[in-house]
Every structure is written in C-alpha cells, then in structure tokens.
Amino acid sequence: MIVVMTPHSTKEQLEHVVKLVEEMGLSTHIIHGTNRTVIAAVGDKRMVDKTAIEYSPGVEKIVPILSPYKVASKEVKQEKTVVKLQPHGSGIGGKTVQVIAGPCSVEDRSQLLEIAHQIKDAGAVGLRGGAFKPRSSPYSFQGLAEKGLEYLADAREQTGLAVVTEVVTVNHVERVAQYADVLQIGARNMQNFMLLRAVGEQPKPVLLKRGMCATMEEFLLAAEYIINAGNPNVILCERGIRTYEEYCRNTLTLSIIPAIQRVSHLPIIVDPTHGTGHAYMIEPMSLAAVAAGADGLIIEVHPDPEHALSDPGQQLTPSLFQQLMHKLVRVAQAVDRKV
C-alpha cells in the first residue's frame, strides 16, 4: 500500500507513520515527490490493520498498490529514476542517452586499455567487460577473474569511465563491488533471488539484464527484489529473448521499452549485441532502440571481433562503434534526447 502524507505534514509525523508501518512487519520506502511525500509499505499485508495508519496525524490517505511489483512501479513513484553510474558521474534515465561499451570479456590489460580510450573518445560513459563469465560450456573461456577486475579498475583510472561488470554469485558480490562502479546481473541469473538480494544490500548501482525466458512482469519482480533489499539504483536492460527464430541469436523485443515506461519509473537500456548475436545488426537496432525511447545502450566492442575469446563475430570494431555514435546523435536529437 501507499501512505500518502498531506502536503504540510511534518518530519515527526512521517517518522511516526514509518515506525507504525514497520511495527506491522512491513518494510518502508520513502519517496519525496514534488508536492508530497509518500511511504510505500511493502510485505505481507494479510495481518495488517490499516486503521492506525489511516488516522495518524499527517496522513491524507492510503492507496492500495495494484500491480504485482510495488516499489518498481509508477503507482509508487511517478518521476523517472535517474541512476548515477558513479557518485559524480553521468546519470541513466535523464535526457541524455548514455552508452556503455567494451569487450564481451576482459582478455588482456593492454587490449582493454586501448579499447577503453577508443570508446571514451567516441562518447561512451561506461566500460563493460566480463571478468567472471557465465558460459554455456564449461570448456569455454571463463574470464580472467580477479585479474580482469584489476584491469578494469586500471582502465577507469586512465579514462574516468564507469566500470560495469558481471557478478555471478553471492560469494563474489563484495569482491566485485570493490572494483566495479555498476554490478551487472546477467540474463542467466535474473531469477537468482539470493543474488538479487545480495546486490540489493550493497550500495553500487545494478544493471539487471532480462532473463532470456522472462516475461516483463518477472523482469520487474526481479528488480523489485533488489529495491526491496535497500538498493533503489536499478537499471533494466533488455537483451533479447529466446524464440523459435533462427536468423538471430535472440529476438530483441524493443516494444518492452514503452511497455516498461508505462508501468515503471526505472530506466531501461538495450543490449543489441546479445539481443541479435550479429555484428551487422548492432547499428540498426541501436538506432531503433534510441528512437523507441531507450535510456541507453550497452554494446560489445572488440579490436578483433573474429578472434574474441567470447562472443566472436558479435562485437563491433572500435571504428564501427565510432561511426554508430555519430549516427546516434542525430536519432537522439530527432526524439528530443542527447547523446
């Protein structure tokens, strides 16, 4: 439920209501809007007697939240959430479309540093790269682990780019958060609820990728786990879903962008690399994503895509990435955004 406070309610009245709600075993999320403050009270409400809250001083009304996801929904928060990639850095969810780029996996230090400089010069704000890779085959390259994290941190040191990298297990959350600016939850882990809680209990922003078989509702419920655990800084990422189609690795459902924006305040970005599985599709789908209202893109870039240790043939070369960034500027302008 949402407890709507009157426009002139005091801080003490707010604190009193929060205490009442928490005593009932519900968790509270306070949202300060332009006109009034609301408290989203979430949890199992079967046993809760709302009367005490309803008649508390400073309370205007109580409104039930109808959607299955609560704190991720627009019913609780109308204004869009802008997630900062670094404390003083760029925000995702505002007027500017932000681009994160980099190799599928961190392969070696000098290669990563070179890519970092190239994507930064082309206008990216974040550097992606997997150090711990969730691979379908146990015989595939699994990532450089800790060394990969160190190289990513070196690249940030040199370029100022925000580091976005995947965390694959609860045991790694603390370690990855020491190096990363943004923790990525991969498609295969979108419903790893323990992991969602663990990244929700730490303060770094989370990039949550849509599971390849997840519905939009399941996607938003996964985000709900993270926010509920205490971390409101969630960026959704559409990366395509499994269908019967064979011309592409996944089917990139761009229609989820307006659908999400209709029901949620969370920013949504698009991954056209995994979303299509073909380098030649990355540019058109990136342009389409921005035209459709995406708040950003995450794109794989590799100096020698054919010989990449993971996802070969699906990544852009730095020069093709630069070309794409030029085109993006014009599309963004056409839909009243910036790059």
Smallest distance from ligand PEP to CB 247, Å: 18
A 10 A CB-CB count for 184 gives: 23
Q: Report the candidate in 128, 185, 186, 123 with the shortest Cα–Cα distance to residue 155.
A: 128
Binding site for Mn ion (CB under 5 A): 104, 311
Q: CB under 5 to 8 A by kind: which of ligand PEP, Mn ion, none does 156 bind?
A: none
Asked if 328 and 286 count as a contact pair (C-beta separation under 8 A), the reply is yes
- String marking each residue 167-186 x if it binds ligand PEP according to CB under 6 A: -------------------x
Cβ closest to ligand PEP, residue 1 vs residue 216: 216
Smallest distance from ligand PEP to CB 64, Å: 35
Smallest distance from Mn ion to CB 240, Å: 12
Task: Give me 226's structure tokens.
Answer: 């993270």
- DSSP H or E segment with residue 61: strand 59-63
8-state DSSP, 139: T
Task: Give me 13's structure tokens.
Answer: 């009245």
Smallest distance from ligand PEP to CB 201, Å: 21
Kindly tell me which residue out of 70, 77, 120, 239 binds ligand PEP, with binding defined by CB under 6 A: 239
Compute the distance between CA of residue 66 and CA of residue 311 in angstroms, rounded to an integer.
41
Smallest distance from ligand PEP to CB 224, Å: 19
Q: What angle do CA 82, 115, 87 make, to 5 degrees?
A: 25
Verify binding: residue 187, ligand PEP, rule CB under 6 A: yes
Smallest distance from ligand PEP to CB 310, Å: 8
Cβ closest to ligand PEP, residue 29 vs residue 239: 239
Verify binding: residue 209, ligand PEP, rule CB under 6 A: yes
Kindly tell me which residue out of 104, 223, 282, 308 binds ligand PEP, with binding defined by CB under 6 A: 104
Cβ closest to ligand PEP, residue 59 vs residue 241: 241
SS (H, E, C) 168-237: CCHHHHHHHHHHCCEEEECHHHCCCHHHHHHHHCCCCCEEEECCCCCCHHHHHHHHHHHHHCCCCCEEEE
Could you tell me which residues come within 8 angstroms of residue 69 by beta carbon, excluding any fewer than 6 positions away?
Answer: 217, 220, 221, 223, 224, 264
Residue showing the smallest CB distance to ligand PEP in the complex: 186
Which positions lie near ligand PEP, rule CB under 6 A? 104, 130, 134, 166, 186-188, 209, 239, 271, 274
